[in-house]
Structure 1
Amino acid sequence: MSKIWVELADIPAEGRVFSFEDQGFWQESLRTCVLSATIAAPLRAEVTVLPDERGALVRGTLRGSVVLPCDRCSEDCEQTVDEEFEVYEELPAEGGESAEESRVVEEDGVQRLNLGAVLWEQFVLALPPKPLCREDCKGLCPRCGGNRNFQECDCAEGGNDPRLSVFRNLKIS
């Protein structure tokens, strides 16, 4: 994943607004994280960073759209990303997480924030956990693998799994 470092000392107390429209950042991050998604509409982020002595408050919006495989039928489906976020990133406590894991690091008395990591995390959180091409997607046939959205197959519905036979006469009271 790409890193975008910002020195917090260079940002005034009232904060600074950053705009990110470089699609190369998103494409490289998708490739690095092996996420099966492609950008459909350009991803744009606008972020305000408000620094303090222990870290920074990051507020922003992330908009665009990506194409993901449907969770039921594996067909491509476009998903809109329209997210507002607010996170506080602080220096790690002594003996806490390592500098590689932290988004705020202090080197030679200078605090730096990895905005790339914040943006990527917010992007991943904005994606649906179960993307669907449509709400009534019928998915794939478990026997022949055919897409039931396009045609019904002649496969018999799955029989009962013999491993579950012990539960057939179970009564819950």
Structure 2
Amino acid sequence: MLVKIEQIKETGLKLEEPIALKLLGDALSGADSGDDTGFRAASPATLKASLRKVSGGVLLEGQFSAHVTSECKRCLGPVDMKVPVSFTLNLVPESLVRGDDFLKKEDESAMEKKERAQGEVGGSFELEDADEEVFDGKTIDLDPIVREQLLLAMPMNAVCREDCKGLCPQCGINWNEAKCSCETKPVDPRLAALKNIKLDN
């Protein structure tokens, strides 16, 4: 998903773009990074985004919902969940980061102050509150942004339900479905050897 700077008019640009299942799947499986999250994408998603030119850069606000599946960390059963992803980024051209066009940068700084005085920078928050990303100044590739924001929004692990009882550590039975007669009282490993000592009367 590429956006050219000239597409962003004074009033901004609103987008509603499909996010391919492959893009979501590759991000979660670590196809690019090598870090598998343990989650799998179940369906494509739709990115709703708005872009606005601010202070020499672009303010990007986006949101989408990812439908993912995983294994429950307690009972290993299937988990089906929707992960809401919402982000605000200040996209800064490489030329500003390098310090090119110093006079232009000073002009943009003055423009930023004017916008703040009018209360138009990002609505109810200051521009400094938005995370910064660098782009080439001509086109914005939304795919890597979607991948990164999805990974940031993912939980560490998933449970099928909050009160999931998990598996018996001895026989492996699913305690949500049945009970077992295994000894469930934890034994201090330092004292475990004492259980096998037989005392003569």
**Residue among 34, 37, 40 paired with 2:36:** 34
1:16 aligns with 2:18: no
1:104 aligns with 2:106: no
1:71 matched residue in structure 2: 73
CA displacement, residues 73-116 of structure 1 (integer Å, 9 cap, x when unaligned)? 22111112234332223346449xxxxxx84332xxx4333312
3-state SS of paired residue (2:25): helix
CA displacement, residues 7-60 of structure 1 (integer Å, 9 cap, x when unaligned)? 334422322222232323222333415333233343221111223454321112
User: Aligned residue pairs: how many?
Assistant: 151
Counterpart of 2:21, as a letter, is: Q
2:113 matched residue in structure 1: none
Q: CA, structure 1 residues 55+162, in 2 after alignment: closer, same or farther (shift >3 Å)?
A: farther
**Residue among 41, 59, 70 paired with 2:61:** 59
Equivalent residues of 1:40, 1:67 under 8 A apart = yes
Name the % identity: 26
1:166 matched residue in structure 2: none
Structure 1 residues not aligned, in runs of 5+: 96-101, 164-173
Which one has the largest radius of gyration? 2
Normalising by the residue count of structure 2, what TM-score does the alignment of the two structures yield?
A: 0.61
1:167 matched residue in structure 2: none
Normalising by the residue count of structure 1, what TM-score does the alignment of the two structures yield?
A: 0.69
Structure 2 residues not aligned, in runs of 5+: 100-131, 192-201
Equivalent residues of 1:57, 1:87 under 8 A apart = yes
Query: Which structure features the higher share of strand residues?
Result: 1
**Residue among 82, 89, 92 paired with 1:90:** 92
**Residue among 38, 43, 46 paired with 2:45:** 43
Equivalent residues of 1:104, 1:111 under 8 A apart = no
Query: Which structure features the higher share of helix residues?
Result: 2
Q: Hey, what's the Cα distance between the residues in 2 that align with 1:13 and 1:148? A: 60
Q: CA, structure 1 residues 144+59, in 2 after alignment: closer, same or farther (shift >3 Å)?
A: same
Equivalent residues of 2:58, 2:90 under 8 A apart = yes
Q: CA, structure 1 residues 152+34, in 2 after alignment: closer, same or farther (shift >3 Å)?
A: same
